[in-house]
Amino acid sequence: MIMRLLPKDFEIANRIMHHPDVYPGLCDDYADPNHTQLGTFFLQQDIIWLLHPSEHVLIMGVPRTFTVYECHTMIEPEGRGRQAVKDVQRTAEWFFNHHTSCEKLVTYVPFYNKKAKIFALAVGMKLEGVCTQSFKKDGKLVDQWVLGLEKEKFLCR
């Protein structure tokens, strides 16, 4: 069962976010690792944090419009594989079923993160375009793939 993140889960969420195999793909050059700690700041935002029972999969959903949520997935190596695909598909169902106005999920994946693109496609997202020169990593601006998942198509699969 998917769980909304509670303050008691911050330690687990911070562990996932700051895992050495997760954090580099999560943040750009401007991110300060000391300021990405989960806490009351994040709870005061419109961000939805979901934690899977395995405690290796953390999902962040940010409303971009009333109908679109931008989602980002953080998965520790122990939680990767087919089960992670199923966990994220269940998260998509949760968004669509618990947020009646949510009609679409989108994500942005930097071009250098091919594994994340393959994962998003495995979940059922479709490549929708490219956001050029939109992510700065190691001093260079890189393009990002834009992938989306539509409620009606996803729930009818």
The domain ranges of the chain are 3-155
The CA distance from 69 to 96, in Å, is 10
Which CATH number does the domain 3-155 belong to among 3.40.50.720, 3.40.630.30, 3.10.20.740, 3.50.50.60?
Answer: 3.40.630.30
pLDDT at res. 36: 56
pLDDT along the chain (157 residues), means of 10: 70 85 81 58 68 85 91 92 92 85 95 94 97 94 97 90
| Residue (of 37, 21, 26) closest to 78 by Cα position | 21
